[in-house]
Amino acid sequence: MKVSISDLADKANINFGTSGLRGLVTDLSDEVYFAYPQAFLQSSPIKDKRFVIGHDLRPSSPRITQACMTAAEQLGFMCEYVGALPTPALAYFGIKNSIPRIMVTGSHIPFDRNGIKFYRVDGEVSKEDEQSIMESTVSLPDSIDLLE
């Protein structure tokens, strides 16, 4: 099923924050976790179809990470999972290895919220990148099988 990211954002009441998506965990459905990383990966200039992903220690982060990885794998991307770590460590790793990255983190917001930060090969996504993600259309599977 084809889904417009902007329509999904309106429906889920979520917005871009600092370099990524932020919202209440209850608003961030599996569809959101799946669709946004696909939109990011489709709209970014990525040469070799690989990226790195990590997460913070929030209880909701492993499930979100799994959805991001499943979405990327559906597009033929290889995911290098680095587990729980601080956001700057993932940013540094990505820059050192010239690889895009996704960090599942709510940063400084309360635990009832979470988010997904997107990094291009050369750094954080820009406002133009965010616009490109928001204008994307992605394909969602009939069901999204994640960690239970």
Residues designated as active site: 107
DSSP classification of residue 77: P
3-state SS class at 80: strand
Residue by residue, DSSP assigns 82-119 as EEE--HHHHHHHHHHTT--EEEE--TTS-TTEEEEEEE
The 10 Å Cβ neighbour count of residue 124 is 13
Range 11-22 burial, b when 16+ CB lie within 10 A, else e: ebebebbebbbb
